[in-house]
Structure 1
Amino acid sequence: MTYKPKISGQKEAIFSNDVVSRFELYNSLFLTLPFYKIKDTGTLLPLFIKHCEDGVKQHQNPTEIINSFFEKFSKQEDANEVIDLLFRFIQYIERQVVLFDAVEDASFKKLNTPDDQSSLHSYLSKGIDNKILQTKVEALIEEFSLRLVLTAHPTQFYPGSVLSIITDLTTALKVNDISTINQLLQQLGKTPFFNKKSPSPVDEALSLAWFLENVFYFAAANIQADIDETLAEFNIPSKKVIELGFWPGGDRDGNPNVHADSTLQVSKMLRQILFRCYYRDFRNLKRRITFRGVEDTIAKIQDVLYKNAFDTSIEAENISEDLKAQLEEIRNTLITSHDGLFVDVVDDLIRKVHLYGCHFASLDIRQDSRILRKAHAYCMDRTIEADALTVDTLSTIGEIKQIQQSNGALACHRFIISNCQRATDILQLTDLFLFNGWTEEDLSMDFVPLFETVDDLAVAGEIMETLYTHPFYKRHLERRGNKQDIMLGFSDSTKDGGYLMANWSIFNAKVALTEVSNKHNIQLAFFDGRGGPPARGGGKTHRFYASMGKEIANKNIQLTIQGQTISSQYGSIPSAEFNIEQLINAGISAGIREKHNILLDPLHKNVLDNMAKDSYDAYVSLRKDPLFLSYLEKFSPLTLLSKITISSRPVKRNSGKKLELEDLRAISFVTSWSQLKQNIPGFYGIGTALKNQEEQGNWDKVHKTYQESGYFKTIIENCMMSMSKTDFSITAHFAEDPEFGGFWKMLHAEYELSKAMLLKLADQEALMENYPVEKRSIAVREKIVLPLVLIQHYAMAMLQQQPDEEAQQSYEKLAIRTVYGIVNAGRNLA
């Protein structure tokens, strides 16, 4: 503990010197690049940024700020010229965000140090003198796994071309290669950031596969290699710990553009990309292993890998075991005949084949329970006409078997039932498989209920009790090793019940589900649907897993990574390795300690029960306010999100109908609040809940809970993170709005109350006081994108004046373009 302030101070110094100073240096270089109208844009942008900052401090509204800028610094009177310059400002600021990302990533290793005290090696070392601990660690390793699932949520804006530039720019920045940096900044300035049309689900899959091919393929294998080395050191058999999952092309919940052929195409694409990775590695292996005795095997492997990587007409089959066997032949020959020379190169490829097989990442299928009920009704009564979604459901079930035969059983073995409300939702899905060519004995599928709303979470335990005692499902689980995955959704539960109630409902659901699963001897794995921001389950994710008690199953960590979280936390090999290692360490430390979770003690549970209820009541009261949705529609770009060409998925379910909160996707909901810099889903109600406890004389109890519960402390810290990206001064002029002024004041009052109560609870003077580097990073990013926020609000204000059609289209495009940079800079805003 005594070293933390010193380490924190060192990291602050590194951040100031290596990140902030270098960003300012290279940003000045970037602003002088010879682009279109650079004299105007490069010269005026710094002035515009300063003018925006001053205007906000003086409580001017965005229209006043922008109009006064043009009056003072640029005499454009024509509206089109004003819009043109604002567009060029946006383009530069978007690229400033990328530059800051690259500079920060270049210093990643200096700023992030893994916790060696909770590592696998640390626990095994302690076990040398503690046989009980040794036995415990070995048993945990036998069961432990980490599954990271990449999902196609529309906030990963960068195309592969830009991601490649970021990667190369980061590399050049590490060694201060000025010439290369200059060239890459020029390339960045001329490279389009966005598609002209919305991507198809297959396009999304291809874009997201960039991370599989360029990051996860190496990072996951490197972490697994460290684990293998550690286990070998202590004479423990190797254990595959890391698994990858994939949703694009398989997730059809609310996305009518995903079809059975999309799923098949994506499975083929994943296989082909994987074999290209294998082939690339094998070429390097072949350059080193030039000895006698392995020529024929090397020729065979090269032929197989080449055909699977590049021949699209080949009949695909699962060849992973044959491939490993042939590589083992080479390995044995190297050991017996060539002194083990380059055996590590062969081991690396064997390890990757073991990790990724012929599928790379397991393709999950997801569909809403209401769609599945319709499909079941059709199969029971063929006189009913099958709609398009029913046809797709049945076609997909048929194709899953084909995917498993081609790419292996792990290629596609999970079907997730979203909006799961009753046991029959799962049982009817098993019926659909039996109706469509599968038998009970060969049903190589795992059926995963997804509980999302506060009400569904409350009855999740009862639903699983019904399933565990159902004869057919019981037999099915026995054939699947008595293992059950259950998905819990943070996004919709937050939209439904607010930040604190969502987290507390999920905690209680996990306790109940663990209890009922233990009762029936089922090995339970929770699959957490986490988005980028705390409002959708993001934030300090590894701290959540480290704070689980023995009452919550935690030996199989599964979570989604999505949106800009993918590029911010897993966008490079070093950052991906660090975050994977953090999650593994969190799971191991929680599994070893297996402490009782003190939130289940009457004192602490009662405190959280009451706080969650008060927070829920405050949030629901806000949600039911007649101005709630209209406020978002008027002031945020919510209604324009459907025009952003970044996603195949509609902004809301039931497209074409009147906007209802229930149909609005959580990602659109949270994104809209973040664009306003208000982040309501990330804190609203928590201030009221804490104040109520104080007024009832329970403050000491609440403070004790905060001090003793790592889980509750993490909730509070993530809430602080969300509030650190909130700035009500930008929208202070809303207070004078004749229709929405009172509503804005209510939001602002809860923010101020929440901030005051959280600081008092944490004994801090400023939000995120304990995380100075992250706090500084957020501040720099918020400063970079402040002009984008003001331009967006200016465009939205101009749209309220009902301009002509041409002007309306221009202002809509202006507002839409600001969304990308704001979300990318926030890194976990949507």
Structure 2
Amino acid sequence: MAKQPTPAIRTTPPVKSITPNKDAPLKEDIRLLGRLLGDVLREQEGDAVFEVVETIRQTSVRFRRESDPQAGAELDKMLKKLTRDQTNSVVRAFSYFSHLANIAEDQHHNRRRRAHVLAGSAPQPGSVAHALSKLDDAGVSGAAIRDFLKDALISPVLTAHPTEVQRKSILDAERDIARLLAERDQPHTPKELRDNAELLRGRIATLWQTRMLRYSKLTVADEIENALSYHRITFLRELPALYDDIDSEISTQFPTRSKAGSGASSASSPLSPYIQMGSWIGGDRDGNPNVNASTMQHALQRQSTTILDFYLDEVHALGAELSVSTLMVSVTPELLTLADASPDLSDHRSDEPYRRALIGIYARLAATARDLGATNILRQEVGSAAHYAAASEFTQELQIIEDSLMVNHGAALVKPRLSTLKRATEIFGFHLASLDMRQSSDVHESVLTELFAHARVTTTYNQLSEDQKIALLLSELSNPRPLYSPFISYSAQTESELSILRSAGLIRQRYGARAIRNYIISHTETVSDLLELLVLQQETGLLRLSAETDTSVNAELEVMVIPLFETIPDLRAAAAIMEQWMALPQVARLIAKQGHQQEVMLGYSDSNKDGGFLTSNWELYKAEIELVRVFNSAGVKLRLFHGRGGTVGRGGGPSYQAILAQPPGTVNGQIRLTEQGEIIASKFSNPEIGRRNLELLVAATLEAGLMPSAAVGKQAKKLTEFETLMDGLSERAYQAYRNLVYETPGFTDYFFQATPIAEIAELNIGSRPASRKSTRRIEDLRAIPWGFSWGQCRLLLPGWYGFGSAISAWLNEGTAKDKTQKMATLRAMYKEWPFFATLLSNMDMVLSKTDLAVASRYAGLVTDRKLRNSIFKRIVEEHERTSSILSAITGAKDRLAGNPLLARSIKNRFAYLDPLNHLQVELIKRHRSITAAGRATEERVKRGIHLSINGVAAGLRNTG
């Protein structure tokens, strides 16, 4: 935010693809946005506020980039002297700069990818073209790749969590800014560039005048609408287009696939819809009392309306485009039949069968939309028509149009819109995204305890041993009589849970079987936890048994029962539980009915909070290996659902590397993973960035699933040695982490005082509470705000703590020669083992974002000086150990040496984050001193804290 009252307007577009400094355009964009923000600040708040902000900015830059200690003291003094109104203006200014810097960086990523393509560079890692080349070099055939994708399922699952700090209004304005910034890369006249800059200024002014925070609690309905916005922006168009691109890449890389009748074109042998969207928003009720049967129904109704609106728009546009006349070309009999069924009887279109057919399709879509709850169809259909019973009928009618064009000189008319629309129908159906259901196992137990008691089966179900529970539940599954009676009064919880399951069946009938097909059980600890859900499904019609003697032979299970293993003990027990589960004859038959496939979800968040960064990652890795073993033995295909969060501590980090680092045999073309909180905005608010992130998932799945395993012979022996060593290191790290977090007296008090966790809990940023129970115990705190809080105070402790202690303890056992040999082993692990390399890469990123000087200011919020000094000292010592050992293993003295662009980005951001962190500490001090005195905190103080939380989250990006 420079002092010039007007921005330096670029009058001629730079030749960005050949500039000597490839990052110069990024700097130019950031400078432009910063100048425009400064202009808006001066216009909206006046010269005095502008001067205050600009002075703080210059001082912060001098302090951070020039390591000027005097500048640090000046900055501290300036920030403490700010009035309340000035404080909020400064916080907003620096917060918005972080947002604008994010936009510029995303645009630069797009720019650099285009530059690589234009320069004819080799395909980049993470692209499907690169993955196909690797597979080709490894001897994998095109036929094998197509067979692999026929059975594949790659599913990003959008979830709403209480660290999503962005309002939709802010996101909408930022998307406009991103679009306008991207336009500047195209050739323009000087006037066009000036006009563009004025439009940018206007959108930045809109941001400044838009309320950044919510004043009311976010509802589940709000979260549903937020998620739908990403479908409209990115998924609806980019996913079908990505399929076309991948099909084209396969055809280019493996041209021989057209031989032997395998299909000469993508149109004749399309890839199956192997990327499908999922959602938890409206179906995840674990710890969220606001989710019930109504929210599930609302979620599907809104999803269906969204996709049908899209279809209606596309069919209308297609009708305008396909003005093909039978006076010019022929059409197929099937197309004529479809046209004749249309309610359009206009003489003007008597020779235009494609238009008549599409008018009929539009009418059927409109009727379908109304049946599924739409109330506002913008364009009235020509006449009435029967609704579609299923999305497949819509797809078939589009196929009739495509087939007619293909055989009547109309192939060139298929690609622009028709083929991608047809592909969209296969991906999204009438449901848009599969809605997962989730509930905690203890709720299921409570419901069944009540049902069994009223049915006089047993009054003490929850007190039975595990073997007794299994025997009783299996007996119930062979008993056709219901447990529930409409003539008995049940608790509100039992009525609600049964109502939800009944609604799931109705939703599947209404919107299609893919609308709801998964049910995740949180806190799965025993086989009975899984069997309980089968009994509840049987009770509500989702599991139907035949009347034959062997009642499970013809059983039909509508919704897959999926265990979620979260804590360290749960992960260690996962394989044994699944082995016992799949060995039950009744269950084995149900699994056979679902294609000999079973999904297992692994929780990255709670395992990290439970055992720390190193142990969590290692226990997840081991659990996956054991699951592969027991699933192979049972002849069942394993699909893993990775519950990854935004922060590295919660399984975050680059998805491409994370998938490639999975143990052999765990990615067999079947993978689901959560996309959470503000990470959804980061990945999918820009269509081009969103498409790239979707492509990364496909590329990684292809490589991980099809590349021949290198772990044979000596390499397999070395891998075993690495894994044995990791066991020991993990145990040491676990002890170090648990000792600090769970065994240090007063640590809970330190955490609640040295981080803004209490203030985060007050934010209107999610529909669920920050804690599962009304306690201050770390065990009961949700893992998401736990990690988010450590990010705000710039320690990011869940992403590294315990690693340094574990490695240093192991290295120091033995002689100096032993230490040298051990370090050589660690370096070999880093170079040769993707799991360990990814672990260290993610930790490197986290450490690059930590700042002990800033964190010390938060530590100063702890009122007990002795407690503050002792705990912070331990954290600092562990940080120094971890940083030193990481450098020794990787050979890189500086953080992010292998990713200089990210390193520069983080370094540049720190100068703008420092004022936000400093002000956040000062505001928290004011807030807590006022509340401690029993007075109500001024709204401006709370607003300032919450604004700073937003700004820091935007600056760090992956903090949720």
Match of 1:205 in 2: 224
Tell me: CA distance 1:226–1:803, structure 2 relative to 1, closer, same or farther (3 Å): same
1:26 matches 2:144: no
- SS of the residue 1:770 aligns to: coil
Distance 1:659 1:156 in 2: 22
* Matching residue within 697, 704, 713 for 2:837: 713
Alpha-carbon deviation of 1:52? 4.8
Distance 1:732 1:243 in 2: 45
**Residue type of the partner of 2:523?**
N
Distance 2:574 2:640 in 1: 12
Alpha-carbon deviation of 1:571? 1.9
Aligned length: 811
Match of 2:86 in 1: 85
Alpha-carbon deviation of 1:15? 6.1
CA contact (8 A) 1:215 1:571 kept: yes
Distance 2:794 2:363 in 1: 55
Tell me: CA distance 1:635–1:387, structure 2 relative to 1, closer, same or farther (3 Å): farther
Tell me: CA distance 1:615–1:408, structure 2 relative to 1, closer, same or farther (3 Å): same
Alpha-carbon deviation of 1:808? 6.0
1:429 matches 2:429: no
* Matching residue within 303, 306, 315 for 2:366: 306
Alpha-carbon deviation of 1:338? 5.1
CA contact (8 A) 2:364 2:387 kept: no
Distance 1:784 1:118 in 2: 31
Tell me: CA distance 1:303–1:210, structure 2 relative to 1, closer, same or farther (3 Å): same
**Residue type of the partner of 1:731?**
A
- SS of the residue 2:302 aligns to: helix
- SS of the residue 1:740 aligns to: helix
Distance 1:130 1:496 in 2: 40
Match of 1:293 in 2: 353
Distance 1:421 1:759 in 2: 39
1:456-486: CA deviation from partner (whole Å, max 9, x where unpaired): 0001000001111112211111111011111
Alpha-carbon deviation of 1:264? 0.6
The TM-score with structure 2 as length reference comes to 0.80
1:417-457: CA deviation from partner (whole Å, max 9, x where unpaired): 01110111111101001012231333211111000001000
Q: What are the residue-to-residue correspondences of 1:339-418 with 2, within 5 Å?
A: 339-344=410-415, 345-382=417-454, 386-418=490-522
1:614 matches 2:732: yes
**5+ residue gaps in structure 1?**
1-8, 75-81
1:444 matches 2:515: no
* Matching residue within 756, 772, 776 for 1:659: 776
Alpha-carbon deviation of 1:680? 0.6
Match of 1:817 in 2: 947
CA contact (8 A) 2:61 2:912 kept: no
1:647 matches 2:766: yes
Tell me: CA distance 1:122–1:725, structure 2 relative to 1, closer, same or farther (3 Å): closer
- SS of the residue 1:343 aligns to: helix
Distance 1:124 1:770 in 2: 25
Tell me: CA distance 1:348–1:782, structure 2 relative to 1, closer, same or farther (3 Å): same
1:334 matches 2:405: yes
Match of 2:723 in 1: 605
Tell me: CA distance 1:549–1:650, structure 2 relative to 1, closer, same or farther (3 Å): closer
1:634-674: CA deviation from partner (whole Å, max 9, x where unpaired): 121111222101111001012xx321111100011001111
Match of 2:801 in 1: 684
Distance 1:11 1:512 in 2: 51
1:44 matches 2:116: no
Distance 1:672 1:424 in 2: 36
Match of 1:146 in 2: 154
* Matching residue within 820, 824, 831 for 1:700: 824
CA contact (8 A) 1:318 1:406 kept: no
Distance 1:163 1:227 in 2: 30
Q: What are the residue-to-residue correspondences of 1:112-191 with 2, within 5 Å?
A: 112=113, 115-116=123-124, 133-134=141-142, 136-176=144-184, 177-191=196-210
1:792-811: CA deviation from partner (whole Å, max 9, x where unpaired): 11122234433562446553
CA contact (8 A) 2:579 2:630 kept: yes
CA contact (8 A) 2:126 2:656 kept: no
CA contact (8 A) 2:155 2:276 kept: yes
Tell me: CA distance 1:337–1:406, structure 2 relative to 1, closer, same or farther (3 Å): same
Match of 1:94 in 2: 95
**Residue type of the partner of 2:231?**
L
CA contact (8 A) 2:522 2:563 kept: yes
1:248 matches 2:281: yes
Superposed CA RMSD? 2.8
Alpha-carbon deviation of 1:685? 0.5
* Matching residue within 577, 582, 585 for 1:463: 577
**Residue type of the partner of 2:180?**
A
Q: What are the residue-to-residue correspondences of 1:258-269 with 2, within 5 Å?
A: 258-269=291-302
CA contact (8 A) 1:246 1:364 kept: yes
Q: What are the residue-to-residue correspondences of 1:99-114 with 2, within 5 Å?
A: 99-112=100-113
Distance 1:787 1:758 in 2: 29
Alpha-carbon deviation of 1:359? 0.8
Alpha-carbon deviation of 1:88? 1.3
Tell me: CA distance 1:118–1:800, structure 2 relative to 1, closer, same or farther (3 Å): closer
* Matching residue within 741, 754, 757 for 2:882: 754
Distance 2:710 2:139 in 1: 22
Tell me which moved more, 27-36 or 39-48. Answer: 27-36
- SS of the residue 1:277 aligns to: helix
| Identity of matched residues, % | 24
Tell me which moved more, 168-177 or 442-451. Answer: 168-177
Alpha-carbon deviation of 1:125? 6.8
CA contact (8 A) 1:219 1:573 kept: yes
Tell me: CA distance 1:392–1:183, structure 2 relative to 1, closer, same or farther (3 Å): same
Tell me: CA distance 1:100–1:124, structure 2 relative to 1, closer, same or farther (3 Å): closer
Distance 2:512 2:495 in 1: 25
* Matching residue within 305, 308, 316 for 1:272: 305
Tell me: CA distance 1:553–1:70, structure 2 relative to 1, closer, same or farther (3 Å): closer
CA contact (8 A) 2:273 2:427 kept: yes
Distance 1:128 1:767 in 2: 35
- SS of the residue 1:805 aligns to: coil
Alpha-carbon deviation of 1:766? 0.6
Match of 2:237 in 1: 218
Distance 1:239 1:293 in 2: 29
Distance 2:834 2:206 in 1: 46
Tell me: CA distance 1:556–1:404, structure 2 relative to 1, closer, same or farther (3 Å): same
Tell me: CA distance 1:131–1:107, structure 2 relative to 1, closer, same or farther (3 Å): closer
CA contact (8 A) 2:638 2:666 kept: no
CA contact (8 A) 1:379 1:435 kept: no
CA contact (8 A) 2:795 2:851 kept: yes
**Residue type of the partner of 1:750?**
E
Tell me: CA distance 1:763–1:354, structure 2 relative to 1, closer, same or farther (3 Å): same
Tell me: CA distance 1:35–1:774, structure 2 relative to 1, closer, same or farther (3 Å): same
CA contact (8 A) 1:317 1:407 kept: no
CA contact (8 A) 1:550 1:594 kept: no
Match of 2:524 in 1: 420
Alpha-carbon deviation of 1:119? 5.6
- SS of the residue 2:564 aligns to: strand
CA contact (8 A) 2:56 2:78 kept: no
Distance 2:124 2:31 in 1: 34
**Residue type of the partner of 2:396?**
A
CA contact (8 A) 1:376 1:429 kept: no
Match of 2:630 in 1: 516
**Residue type of the partner of 1:401?**
G
Distance 1:403 1:339 in 2: 39
CA contact (8 A) 2:563 2:601 kept: yes
Alpha-carbon deviation of 1:706? 1.4
Alpha-carbon deviation of 1:610? 1.1
The TM-score with structure 1 as length reference comes to 0.92
